[in-house]
Amino acid sequence: MSGNFFSSTLSKAIEWARAGSLWYVSVGSGCCGDEVMETVGCRYDLERFGCVPQVNPEQADLLIVSGITSYKAAPHLRALYDAMLSPKYVLAVGACASCGGAFSPESSYSVVAGVDKIIPVDVYVPGCPPRPEAIMNGLITLQEKIRGYQRTQTEA
């Protein structure tokens, strides 16, 4: 067995395990937080994707950010992200987390125009608010990204 063959197979196994056990911390500072809770709850049951809620960022692989992030909250969100151990992923749920949404730079002086201005985001889930199905779709997209799969592109 060559070293190369061994390491690539092992990394595949690690990616498979990583994608299937995304333990997360959730930051909900807006109405989208309710949809995230709904997704976690018994009806949609996020745990069947291997997602377990965590309170300690050091034990989490995924940061789910939903809702508005103000300039005042920005350093705290950054500190939370920094406290997570690599590899770490970020799911931005809803228009506010993705780009400021209804509190866009034109209409608000205090809201950051998307959390990607503070931390790197892996998957954006659009919607105001997105339905739990959309959040789950975002999570599956993230899992596919971790496993290195690519989705078939649909024609616009």
Partner 1 sequence: MDTNELKRKLEIKGAGSSLKQSLAIDVGSLAHTAQFLRDEPNWQMDDLENISAFEMKGDILLTYFLKSSSTGKTMVLRATVTPKTETSEVDAVSVSHLWAIAIPLEQEISELFGVRFQGGKTRPHQVLPEGWRGFPLRKSYVFPIEFASIKHQRHEHE
CB of 143 vs ligand SF4, minimal distance in Å: 23
**What is the three-state SS of the chain?**
CCHHHHHHHHHHHHHHHHHCCCCEEEEEECCHHHHHHHHHCCCCCHHHHCCCECCCHHHCCEEEEEECCECCCHHHHHHHHHHCCCCCEEEEEHHHHHHCHHHCCCCCCCECCCHHHCCCCCEEECCCCCCHHHHHHHHHHHHHHHHCCCCCCCCC
Q: Where does this chain touch ligand SF4 (CB under 6 A) — which range of 14-22, 69-77, 96-104, 148-156?
A: 96-104
Residues 15-34 contacting ligand SF4, CB under 6 A: 30-32
Q: From the list ligand SF4, partner 1, none, pick the one residue 101 interacts with, judged by a Cβ distance below 5 to 8 Å according to partner type.
A: ligand SF4
Q: If binding is defined by CB under 8 A, does position 120 make contact with partner 1?
A: no
Q: Residue 32 or 118: which CB sits closer to ligand SF4?
A: 32
